[in-house]
Amino acid sequence: MLHLGMDAETSQIVAAALTTKEVGDAAEVGPLLDQVETSVASFTADGAYDQEGVTAAVAERHPEAAIIVPPRSTAVPSETAATAPTQRDRHLHSIAAHGRAGWQKASGYTKRAWAEAAIGRLKRVVGDGLRSRTDGRRATKVDAAVHALNRMLELGRPISVRVA
């Protein structure tokens, strides 16, 4: 499985890891963050990352980073929500007050779509699968694709303007 970390401001892929199917996405958060050479302002991911281990991995490496992960529908506030709310507690409160769509817009969660677009670009360059038979060759192909995509972004991006 391919795991990516992306800079939301530049759309550059700043971390990549290739693992077996048995390795869950959340388990790769620490190793991906270890590849990032600059400070992380925010960590945005889908609901599968709503885990204490993910929060701990981000906080350990980048204590000031905002963690923007939608809480699961069954999530409950922490015991300290009334006196010392966590980021997750604040997300739960915002969802209760403004709805999930309102929270997504207010929190910046909608930027996650840029990461999905990066995955789409990567699939267009690499293809839907890595056909090499060895892990080393697969990793090399991913590294080459990430480098190519980042280079394309350095050369320029289209400027989109909303008309209606």
Per-residue model confidence (pLDDT) at position 145: 82
The model's pTM is: 0.78
pLDDT under 50 in the chain at which residues?
A: none
Domain residues of the chain, as ranges? 2-155
CA 19, CA 95: separation in Å to the nearest integer?
34
Token pair, residue 136, equals 């080393």
Per-residue model confidence (pLDDT) at position 101: 93
Q: What are 31-56's pLDDT values in tens digits?
A: 999 999 999 999 999 888 999 999 99
Q: What are 11-26's pLDDT values in tens digits?
A: 888 998 888 888 888 8
Residue 15: other Cβ atoms inside 10 A = 19
